Amino acid sequence: MITRDRAVQTFLDLVAIDSPSGHEDAIAAELEHRLRQLGLQTAQDAAGNVLARLDGQGEPILLSAHMDTVEPGRGIRPQWDGPDIIRSDGTTILGADDKAGCAVILEVLQSLLEDGLPHRPVEVAISRGEEIGLIGATNLDYRRITARVAIVVDSGGPPSSIQGQAPYHYVYDIEVYGRSAHAGLEPEKGIPAISIAAELVTSLPQGRLDPETTGNVGIIRGGLVRNAVPETCLVQGEFRSMVQERAETLARTVRRHVEAVQTRHPGVHIQADIRMAYPGYRLEPDDPAAALLFPILRSLGFQPNPHPVGGGTDGNVFRGHGIASLVIGRGGYNQHTKDEYLVVPEMLDCARVVEAACRSGIA
């Protein structure tokens, strides 16, 4: 049985452990310890993701969350707001994104073991570095994953809140190499990399390009001192679209633009790395994950609410590896802000839905 007090205490224990992206060692060790205490086969892969398995009957199911948080996420002090809402104290995030997801998975596993009823084999993947580019999921050891269906517990709202569509996401790193010179004595001997980069930036995709497509130049970094012609400049950005063809067209357009600027400035070397960060998806009626979870939601009194989102999750990466993944709500709101809060009954509802999915399809 899903137990409120235990699930809430697990959540509070986890948010007490600082785990901003890149500093997940302590939370990874705690998660590994808790999973081993439950008797699961548990290990960290080479990327530091925590992987575990609980044997069962039938087709396996993958349960996933991420262990890292955004900043400011150190020294979190949760506060109760009435009997059912936990907030941050206003100086940090709360960390429901995604410590609530981790707590849900741990509670589901505990309940499955206590009840002793048949269930599917359950594989667990709790990733690092999700908030800074889905790094853990991208580098996860997929040789250890056999499930072809996954529930990713990493969305806001109740469990009926389903990420039904997510974008194809491209990122780029463009390095401009010019020539340095003293800016006061002989500037004509230099080739200013920042000026060339500025020429590039003016035609890179930025803002909302259409209802399903966005672009952004996020970082420009160049030069060392004010009195030297800058030798190098780095431009980093992204674009994403719900439409695969549109994203691919933008990638080709950016490459052609870089080539054109290079042609206009033969004394400069421009090195561009333009790559897909993760694939997008659109839930179809026959999607295996939707076919599994939607009937369960309805049987528990929820109406599935698939909707598009502008960002990506580990579910995007899993789908790129052939794992049909559904990203569901775990009761959190205002994530990535100091106003973040968790609705405890919705977190428990999420746990009940996930538990029912683990029991589904057992003869």
Query: 308 pLDDT exceeds 80?
Result: yes
Are residues 165 and 276 in contact, defined by beta-carbon separation less than 8 angstroms? Answer: no
List pLDDT tens digits, range 9-21. Answer: 999 999 999 999 9
* Residue 362 banded pLDDT, cuts 50, 70, 90: confident
- How high does pLDDT run on average in the chain? 97
In sequence order, what are the residues at sequence separation of 6 or more whose Cβ sits closer than 8 angstroms to the Cβ of residue 55? 121
Instruction: Give catalytic residue positions.
Output: 68, 130
The two three-digit tokens of residue 30, written as one number: 């705690």
List pLDDT tens digits, range 184-215. Answer: 999 999 999 999 999 999 999 999 999 999 99
pLDDT computed for residue 285 by the predictor: 80
Q: Which of 19, 22, 20, 97 is nearest to 339 (CA)?
A: 97
Asked whether the bond before 72 is cis by omega within 30 degrees of 0, the reply is: yes
Q: What is the DSSP string of 295-343?
A: HHHHHTT---EEEE-SS--HHHHHHHTT-EEEEEEEEEESTTSTT-EEE
HSE-CB for 292 with a 13 A CA cutoff: 26
Q: Which of 344, 321, 20, 357 is nearest to 141 (CA)?
A: 321
Mean pLDDT in residue range 210-222: 97
C-alpha distances out from residue 196 to 37, 116, 187, 193, 315, Å: 58, 66, 15, 5, 38
List pLDDT tens digits, range 332-359. Answer: 999 999 999 999 999 999 999 999 999 9
Question: In this structure, what DSSP letter does residue 228 have?
Answer: B
Report the alpha-carbon distance of residue 202 to residue 233 in Å, rounded. Answer: 15
* Residue 363 banded pLDDT, cuts 50, 70, 90: low
Q: Which of 274, 242, 276, 279 is nearest to 255 (CA)?
A: 274
Q: What's CA 106's distance to the chain center, in Å?
A: 19
Report the alpha-carbon distance of residue 335 to residue 271 in Å, rounded. Answer: 36
Write down all domains in the chain, each with its CATH number in brackets.
4-166+280-359 (3.40.630.10), 168-278 (3.30.70.360)
> Residue length, the chain?
363
List pLDDT tens digits, range 46-95. Answer: 999 999 999 999 999 999 999 999 999 999 999 999 999 999 999 999 99
pLDDT computed for residue 314 by the predictor: 97
The two three-digit tokens of residue 216, written as one number: 């952004």
The two three-digit tokens of residue 221, written as one number: 């970094």
The two three-digit tokens of residue 135, written as one number: 């790094």
The two three-digit tokens of residue 18, written as one number: 């600082």
* Residue 126 banded pLDDT, cuts 50, 70, 90: very high
Are residues 340 and 332 in contact, defined by beta-carbon separation less than 8 angstroms? Answer: yes
Report the alpha-carbon distance of residue 138 to residue 267 in Å, rounded. Answer: 37
Q: What is the DSSP string of 50-115?
A: EEEEE--SSS-EEEEEE--BPSS-SS---EE-SSSEEE--SSS---HHHHHHHHHHHHHHHHHHHH
Helix, strand, coil share (%) of the chain residues, nearest 5: 35, 30, 35
Query: 42 pLDDT exceeds 80?
Result: yes
State what percent of residues in the chain have pLDDT above 70: 100
